[in-house]
Chain A
Amino acid sequence: DAGVIQSPRHEVTEMGQEVTLRCKPISGHNSLFWYRQTMMRGLELLIYFNNNVPIDDSGMPEDRFSAKMPNASFSTLKIQPSEPRDSAVYFCASSPIAGVGSYEQYFGPGTRLTVT
């Protein structure tokens, strides 16, 4: 079975441009998570969905960031307009359920975003 799929793997864009990151979770998983990894702040949860519904977006840094999950097999994270400080690796992860328990989160390969 394919793991979590993310695209693009690398994105270089200029400040002010719109960026859209894409994620396909593992089939059958009900929960989807977006994380951001930077040297300064480490790995941070941005938002998570349960059954396609956004549950907690308290980690989304600003209104420039938005995320959607139109169906169980697809999610997007959009940054508009992008800024150099948004440069990071963005991970998507999925799990069977979001409850407290041994529900391992399976991570995608990440998208390395560079904003110049």
Chain B
Amino acid sequence: AQKITQTQPGMFVQEKEAVTLDCTYDTSDQSYGLFWYKQPSSGEMIFLIYQGSYDEQNATEGRYSLNFQKARKSANLVISASQLGDSAMYFCAMRDSPGGLTFGKGTHLIIQP
């Protein structure tokens, strides 16, 4: 079974609208961390936001927020007031044991003017 599932291969959104990118995860561990990374067409991986499994509040970083629903095992990324520069691949990732991250397949977001 996949540990990280991103069900939206691609999304088109109008500029200035809010965007929600879906992510569900699967783990039996109680302690884990969830991450979102952005990969623009230039290829670099840019860290956006982190949510710990014990964090009671949803994480926020500027225009990015993470809608964390632990019981549903979902960690959706919300981008408010989307901009053209937000067009990129977005990856959800999890770490539930010491070591590397497990990534989802990604969502290709295109912001239209």
Contact = CB atoms under 8 A, between A and B. Distances in A.
A45 B99 contact: yes
Nearest to A44: B103
Interface in B4-36: 29, 31-33, 35
B103 A42 contact: yes
Contacts of A104: 35, 47, 50
Interface in B34-50: 35, 37, 43-45, 47, 50
Interface in B72-100: 91, 93, 95-100
Contacts of A91: 45
Chain B contact residues: helix, strand, loop or mixed: loop
Contacts of A44: 103
Interface stretch (A12-20, A62-70, A93-101): A93-101
Interface residues of A, number: 27
Given A42-B106, A45-B99, A55-B99, A100 B33 contact: yes
B29, B99, B100, B102: most-surrounded residue (chain A CB, <10 A) = B100
Interface size class of B (residues with CB under 8 A): 20 to 34
Interface string A93-116: 100001111111111011010000
Contacts of A48: 99-100
Interface in A26-44: 33, 35, 42-44
8 contacts: A33-B101, A45-B99, A48-B100, A100-B29, A104-B50, A105-B35, A105-B101, A110-B45
